[in-house]
Amino acid sequence: MICRFCQQDVDDPCHDTPEMRARAESHIKRCERALMSQTGMGAGSGAAGRE
């Protein structure tokens, strides 16, 4: 299915704006944690909000 918000082909698209925002926030946090664990960077590295 194509998500009506991001236009990506996904298995489970967002159903409304609050769900989309929650997923986006969760995605950013997961990426930040992965980056920190791979590079050994700590909090306050300036990576917040980057995609």
Per the model's pLDDT, the better-predicted residue between 42 and 15 turns out to be 15
Mean of the per-residue pLDDT values of the chain = 74
Q: What percent of the chain is modeled with pLDDT above 90?
A: 0
Question: Hey, where are the domains in the chain?
Answer: 1-39
pLDDT of res. 44: 54
- The position carrying tokens 């700590």 is 42
Per-residue pLDDT of 22-39, as tens digits, reads 888 887 787 888 888 888
23 closest CA partner among 43, 32, 15, 39: 15
Q: Is the predicted pLDDT of residue 50 greater than 60, yes or no?
A: no
pLDDT of res. 42: 58
Distance, in Å, from the CA atom of 14 to the CA atom of 48, rounded to the nearest integer, reads 23
4 closest CA partner among 28, 19, 30, 22: 19
Burial class for 35, CB neighbours closer than 10 Å (0-12, 13-18, 19+): middle
